[in-house]
Chains A and B, each alone.
Chain A
Amino acid sequence: MRLKIPSNFRIVRVPCTGKVDIIHILRAFEKGADGVYVVGCMEGDCHFNEGNFRARKRVEQAARILDKVGVGGERVKMFNLSSGEGPLFAQYSIEMDNKIKELGPSPIRVAKQNKKDAA
């Protein structure tokens, strides 16, 4: 399809979004990610029945934690699409990219950079 997607994100492949845990999302932020989005299958279409529902719950929990530690829960989001919807994947990545650009860099990344500069 040769769709254009932003080049500033890294895809981490998982066998099912049910594999994604809260800590995976938090670690990404701890390492300096500005945003994380989880893309799962359509709700009700999970091969493992509830993998994407579990992922959604975990994304919500991660968002609550990020809010509490001052990173901002709006930096993490869950999307659903089917494997045949490449254009929608591209659209979601652009949407997320725009949103993160609007929010600016993650405060963790800024704090880490400041520390590095000071050293």
Chain B
Amino acid sequence: MIIAEKKPIEEIIDEVKDFSRILILGCNECVTVCEAGGKKEVEILASALRMYFINKGNEKKVDERTLERQCDHEYLEELRSNIDDYDAIVSLACGVGVQFAAEKYLTTPLIPGVNTVCLGANEDRGLWTERCQACGSCVLARTGGICPVSRCAKRVLNGPCGGSTNGKCEISKDVDCAWQLILDRLKALDKMDDYEKIAPIKDWSTDRAGGPRTVTREDVKI
């Protein structure tokens, strides 16, 4: 899922201080799971903002709403009838949701309430770690299901490099060497023959190097 983290409340206060009718807009998908922008976080942020502005003698209307998704037309359309009730929207969705909402409601300022961090997994309670960089051409089949693009600092495709020590990466003793993990996994799978195969130069045009990416599916288009 997409991992995000809450922006500091001071930053949000600074962004909204000039508006008097504000909607805090949450998203029920990834940001709910990573506890950054779901219904609960919407309630907390809205309550905190209301208290801040009451305390400053500048009471504002701060409403709460959480959509099923902010990256789909049909859910964003639910706002259409109320959009003029607000001077600004603080969206707690990922960058995708914020932009999609901004594209839809051209005259309402959209303010991001979270920092979108990465595509990751919930490794432990309160710990989310990156697992994918959406490079557009997956190599996991030959790397034992461990991604050298997202988990190796150098994105080395034929690793490990010389910086791998005792299974850790040279950038930090807390970061596992992805290629050590790959080797261990390939050994466990008895697929070390795969390790001997040299990976060809990767086509990075499917990554960000090729500019913004799109997926077009003629078979599902109506």
Which residues does A use to contact B, with CB under 8 Å?
A: 21-23, 26-27, 29-30, 65-66, 68-71, 107-108, 111-112, 114-115
Contacts and interface: CB of A to CB of B under 8 A. Distances in A.
A68 B54 contact: no
Contact of B44 (A22, A71, A107, A108): A22
Nearest to B58: A111
A65 B48 contact: yes
A20 B48 CA distance: 17
Given A68-B9, A69-B9, A107 B48 contact: no
Contact of B51 (A21, A23, A29, A114): A29
Interface of B: 9-10, 40, 43-44, 47-52, 54-57, 59
B10 A68 contact: yes
Nearest to B52: A69
Given A23-B44, A29-B51, A30-B47, 13 more contacts: A23-B43, A27-B47, A65-B9, A68-B9, A68-B10, A69-B52, A70-B51, A70-B55, A108-B54, A108-B55, A111-B54, A111-B55, A112-B54
A114 B48 CA distance: 20
Contacts of A68: 9-10, 48, 52
A21 B55 contact: no
Question: Chain A's interface: helix, strand, loop or mixed, by majority?
Answer: helix
Given A30-B51, A71-B51, A111 B44 contact: no
A63 to B, nearest CB: 12
B51 A108 contact: yes
B203 to A, nearest CB: 45
A71 to B, nearest CB: 6
A96 to B, nearest CB: 20
Contacts of A21: 40
Contact of B57 (A29, A30, A66, A111): A111
8 contacts: A23-B43, A23-B47, A30-B47, A30-B51, A65-B9, A69-B9, A108-B51, A115-B59
B9 A23 contact: no
Given A111-B57, A115-B59, A70 B52 contact: yes
A69 B52 CA distance: 5
Q: Which of A23, A66, A69, A111 has the most chain B CB atoms inside 10 A of its CB?
A: A69
Contacts of B43: 23
Contacts of B51: 26, 29-30, 66, 69-71, 108
| A-B residue pairs, 10 tightest by C-beta | A69-B52, A26-B47, A70-B55, A23-B43, A69-B51, A111-B54, A107-B55, A68-B9, A69-B48, A65-B48
A73 to B, nearest CB: 12
Nearest to A22: B44
Contacts of A29: 51
A29 B50 CA distance: 11
Contacts of B48: 26, 65, 68-69
Contacts of A108: 51, 54-55
Contacts of A107: 55
Contacts of B55: 69-71, 107-108, 111
Nearest to A71: B51
Contacts of B10: 68
